[in-house]
Structure 1
Amino acid sequence: MAIDPCTSQTLTSPDGAELVVCAHGGHVLGWTPAGGEPRLWLSPTAECGPGLAIRGGVPVIFPQFAGRGPLPKHGVARNRAWSVVESGAGTWTAKLTDDENTRDIWPYAFELELTARAAGQTLDLALTARNTDDRPWSFTAALHSYFTVGDPATTVGGLGGLTASDNADGSQQQLDESLLALGTRDIAVEGAGGPVTLDDSRLGRLVVTANGFPDRVVWNPGAGHGLGDVPPGGESGFVCIEPALLEPVELAPGSAWTGTVRLDTGKR
């Protein structure tokens, strides 16, 4: 009997770190470091099913970020069922391949694979895109991570002095070293290759590092957001810090790209 792709699975590593996943969207729904508290936010009103994107956790964005192109927002990966390749103690791998439905939207053959490993104080994510077509194609991508915020005064650090573009109106600003995590914000910071920190007095520090994702997006919808799958006041419980690839990369037939992300609570 086939398992519903929206059915969640909890995978616990030998040291007690916990990973919660589901096949719909190749989605990491939750992560709890060993001996710690959950660090990924999942909306209590999140929806799941064909054509729906789960609000929270770590949605996979591919082959288009947001509305930066002709495809549906955030592409074709986050709102359809993937195949589970591996499921073990704190480790999970899922794969998405093109089909007639994806080719109706984006006319290329591809393979996308996400691996998640939770152990100790870290969660490691690896996203690999392979061109299985006989033509080159270009893509952008992101791991749209929703982080739990426990203290309203929580700040985002590591982006000070860099220039951010507002995704709504295109205006630019130079960022301070410390940004409030909560409040309306939707900015893209290109060339932000260093660690980004989330400093929360209740939950502790979380450090986001990445390779292959040279950019960062910081997003919170703010009060009065109008999102049907975020309950009123829910925006005060999370901030998105997204390792992203915002400039298109071209893959030749038979070639592959991999981007990796590490989330680390830093408690040793």
Structure 2
Amino acid sequence: MPWSVVNDGDGMPRIILTEPSGSSAEVLLYGGQVVSWKNDRREELLFMSSKAVLKPPKAIRGGIPICFPQFGNLGSLEQHGFARNRLWAMDSCASPLPPPKNQSTIDLILKSQEEDIKTWPRSEVRVEGLETLDYFDNLIKRERFTEQADAITFDGEVDRVYLSTPGKIAIIDHEKKRTLVLRKEGLPDAALWNPWDKKAKALPDFGDEDFQVMLCLDSAAVENPITLKPSEEWMGRQELSTVLSSYFSGQLDPRQVLAGK
């Protein structure tokens, strides 16, 4: 049998994965944490503190912890986030992955709880079409950066101006299973804004929870302002359209939207 579930009575069920060669691994359902990995000579390859506390809600010192949704104290949550302090479950409907080289595999899942929304508010919206572009970050004195993400998601305040953007930008709304498409001409840049929770509470004309149901995406000409001489003309336009599906629903690939298909 490639894996088995063991409960030593300490309230910390663990999954034991074994290979015919003699190598093995142990994964705790608490934190989804790998706490042991031995080679075919039964040599332990992972460090575990001799004083590690294997009892919730304490995080376990050693092994391979899962730091999510933040690393260290780089966020508003507890150190390294909450995933390593939660009880995971075996996933019987895991997403298909390439066949593993080894025989022993197990899929674990961490399901969202109602309290997570209070401590870690997050958006089910993503923006595509701005990847690899330069932008001014208004939160850091308009310092210029290059977007590294494949798509822009939101888990904190965003106030940016993306430069030399394409004529089409897609907003994929996973929760409502729809995609909004912004088409524009004569406006090379795009401003993206969401105040998130702290800034929302500081704005007198903005509801405390409004940040969860809005996203500001503006067509703009910021880097090179448009200047007209007497008798000169300029035209700019933008068009918004919606498709009643989304990338999440599997019916619409936003890259096809951006390509005009």
**Same fold (TM > 0.5):** no
- Structure having the higher helix fraction is 2
- Structure having the higher strand fraction is 1
TM range (shorter): 0.3 to 0.5
Larger gyration radius, structure 1 or structure 2: 2
Choose between structure 1 and 2 for higher RCO, CA contacts under 8 A separated by at least 6 residues: 1
